[in-house]
Structure 1
Amino acid sequence: MDDPVLRVQSQLTDRDRILLGWLFDHGVLTSFQIAHALFPSLDFCQRRLRTLYRLRLVARFRPQRADGGSYPYHYVIDQLGAEVVTVDRQERPPRRDHARVERRRWTSSRTLAHRLGVNGFFTELAGYARTHPDAGLVEWLPEAACARAGAFTTRADSGLVRAYQPRVRPDGYGRWAEDGARVPFFVEYDTGREPLSVLVGKLAGYGELFATIGRAWPVLFWLHSAARETNLRRLLADLPPSLLPVATGARDHATGAGLCPAEAVWAAAGRGGPRHRLADLARYVVDGRDYPGEVV
């Protein structure tokens, strides 16, 4: 019997496999995000996406704008693509309706804009790394993976691995490498709709997480606007002193300056001075069993 997975595997490039893995893990990406992250040009990207679409590895939809016209194509995993990913990872095969459920989820989801925003943050990093040989997005985990028990573990004194069920739900986790520096980080993507007090309230969960695992990594608040960032920083300044590593950045400021999240857009909470590059935040990483366990 003809195996469709075997039939297409020989036609896939390493870049195709990265893309299929991203769609399987992160749900949806626009053609512009995919092009920026993985391809030298939009035309080249669109040609390859058409091929993957014809092979039924990816599916696509195109939302309509309220004021007329349409958005660019949004790509999701198709069933055969999901099967290829699970075979490559030696994981359990996907449900028979996996692709259909995912496609319906994102074509009708009220959280589509938020998910695209989070994914855009990481594809901007990947695009920067594509053109800077000394930089790399080493790891990218979605919200669902961050929330699983065992996503972040630590070795207790007994030598046993202790799994922890995080109370906080980051929008994403990543590890960035550049010029010899390595920075694990969490992302909180702000749409501008939540009260800033809700964002501040999330720090208690991060404090609990870091105290439990004995490590601390920067928590990045990627704000809707510079005004929102200024107001959030005022609230953070009113908190008791803490070693919890927090940095803020504003999308409109970064866009206006022609910068991406890898560059000097980050202001460390509770500290003055110029803005930091993402790699510079390595100075705030506490790795090992020496995190003092302060909870906000």
Structure 2
Amino acid sequence: MDDPVLRVQFRLTDRDRTLLGWLYDHGVLTSFQISAALFPSLDFCQRRLRTLTGLRLIQRFRPHRPDGGSYPYHYVIAQLGAETIAAARGERPPRREHARTEHRRWTAGHLLAHRLGVNQFFTGLAAHARTHPRTELAAWWSESTCRRPGAFVRPGDPALLHAYQPRVRPDGYGEWREDNVTVPFFLEYDTGTEPLYTLVNKLDGYTDLARALGRVWPVLFWLHSPARERNLQHLLTDQPVAVPVATGHRAGTPLPAGEVWAVAHTGWYRHRLSALAQFTA
């Protein structure tokens, strides 16, 4: 029997497998995000993306701009790509409609901008690591992975935690490594549509999780403007917090690995992402 998964597996590079895994886990990436994170040039990236599209491992679409023209190509996993990743991970094959459902989900548009923003944060870290030795995006978990029961339980934790874990809904969880220092963190990607007190109230879940696990990791609020960041900082100044909280804004396309993180209750001084390790426990 001709198995399509077996037929394409030998044609994949390690970089291909990384890309397919990202699309399977995180939904959608633009050609520019993929190029910056994984390839030395956009031309090289586009050639490889055409090859993977021809192998029916990925699919693409191109949203139109309201004022005319088009955005760059957006890539999602194809059914064969999803089955290939599931097989490589030793997981059950995805349902037959997995790729079609995911494709429709992102082309519908109302979730696309937020997901691309979250993925831009993490691919920005991966792009930095690609060109800077001694740095690494060591973990990138999706929102759905973070929601799984026991997602943050480690061997040796109390057995009760495998059945119960305080619920948090970060937009992603990551581990950034720089000069042998690793910083686990939760990402809250803010688009400016929620009231600021809603963002502050999210800290209750992280506090409960930290108490249950006995571990403390920073919560990063990545905000769309300096004014939004200042207003959130004003609220947090008067709010006792039991977990480390850092704010940053993406105006001017700053690098999330850089000195862009202001930490609550420490004078709001800016730190590099790796320096937030001092606030973990």
TM surpasses 0.5: yes
3-state SS of paired residue (1:162): helix
Instruction: For residue 161 of structure 1, report the CA deviation from its aligned partner.
Output: 6.2
Task: Sort the Cα spacing of 1:215 and 1:95 in 2 relative to 1 into closer, same or farther, 3 A.
Answer: same
What TM-score do the two structures reach when normalised by structure 2?
Answer: 0.96
Q: Please give the alpha-carbon distance, in whole angstroms, between the structure 2 residues aligned to 1:154 and 1:93.
A: 26
What residue identity is the alignment partner of 1:129?
Answer: A
> Which residue is equivalent to 1:97?
97
Comparing 147-156 with 92-101, which one deviates more in the overlay?
147-156
Q: Please give the alpha-carbon distance, in whole angstroms, between the structure 2 residues aligned to 1:21 and 1:235.
A: 38
Q: What does 1:1-296 align with in structure 2 at a 5 Å threshold?
A: 1-153=1-153, 160=159, 162-163=161-162, 164-240=164-240, 242-253=241-252, 255=253, 259-272=254-267, 274-286=269-281
3-state SS of paired residue (1:153): coil
Structure 1 unaligned residues grouped into runs of 5+: 287-296
3-state SS of paired residue (1:32): helix
> Which residue is equivalent to 1:294?
none
- Does the 8 Å CA contact 2:207/2:242 hold for their aligned counterparts? no
Instruction: For residue 214 of structure 1, report the CA deviation from its aligned partner.
Output: 0.8
Instruction: For residue 7 of structure 1, report the CA deviation from its aligned partner.
Output: 1.0
Structure 2 unaligned residues grouped into runs of 5+: none
Alpha-carbon RMSD across the aligned residues, in angstroms, is: 1.4
The alignment-based identity, stated in percent, is 66
What residue identity is the alignment partner of 1:107?
Answer: T
What residue identity is the alignment partner of 1:283?
Answer: Q
Q: Please give the alpha-carbon distance, in whole angstroms, between the structure 2 residues aligned to 1:156 and 1:8.
A: 39
- Does the 8 Å CA contact 1:147/1:165 hold for their aligned counterparts? no
Count residues with an aligned counterpart.
Answer: 280
Q: Which runs of 4+ in 1 moved over 4 A?
A: 154-157
Q: Please give the alpha-carbon distance, in whole angstroms, between the structure 2 residues aligned to 1:283 and 1:62.
A: 43
- Does the 8 Å CA contact 1:154/1:161 hold for their aligned counterparts? no
Q: Please give the alpha-carbon distance, in whole angstroms, between the structure 2 residues aligned to 1:210 and 1:278.
A: 20
